[in-house]
Amino acid sequence: MAGFIILMGVSGSGKTVVGKALAPQINAEFIDGDNLHSQRNVDKMAAGIPLTDADRLDWLLLIAKVGREHVSHGTSCIIACSALKKSYRNLLREDNPAIRFVYLKGSFDLIHDRITKRSHQYMPSSLLKSQFETLEEPGADEQDVITVSIDQSISQIVAEIAKRGLLS
């Protein structure tokens, strides 16, 4: 069955690593949402300037479109996308009944430690605080979201997601 999974969470939560490991296990294509940002957004983030809702709008619409196209062609995809606010998730849900979200949840300290040890093309660790301030954790009313703790190995995270049968 075709489906569309958004791996969501703040920068450094493991969206890309988990997505690349999960995709072959569930027969889905992994797409890094960072690669769908406009050059203007990339430049802004590289300068340490947090994106606004207006900055994110076209990016979110493109992610929704890519997911919708996969499902309409009978294929599945996993897209890494922060989806920090409920309004962003609601926008992604529009015309995407097959969408499911996986919230990769971790503490500020754990993620800050990870992000300072890595190199990212345009996401400096200084923006992590603004991401946590923006984050609206999924609530009980968001039935299409599962929460997975990132305080475990990548293989454990992937196994936990895979066993949920999100694409079945």
Place of tokens 């430690």: 113
pLDDT in tens, 1-17: 789 999 999 988 999 99
pTM for the model stands at 0.91
The CA–CA distances, whole Å, from 125 to 12, 45, 53 equal: 9, 11, 20
d(C-alpha 142, C-alpha 137), whole Å? 10
d(C-alpha 3, C-alpha 14), whole Å? 21
Domain architecture of the chain: domains with CATH: 4-162 (3.40.50.300)
Cβ-based neighbour number of residue 153 at 10 Å? 9
pLDDT recorded at residue 92: 97
Residue 54 · residue 61 · CB < 8 Å = no
Averaged pLDDT of the chain: 91
pLDDT in tens, 31-90: 999 999 999 998 988 887 878 899 999 999 999 999 999 999 999 999 999 999 999 999
Q: Residue 114 — pLDDT band, cuts 50, 70, 90?
A: confident
104 bridge partner residues: 148
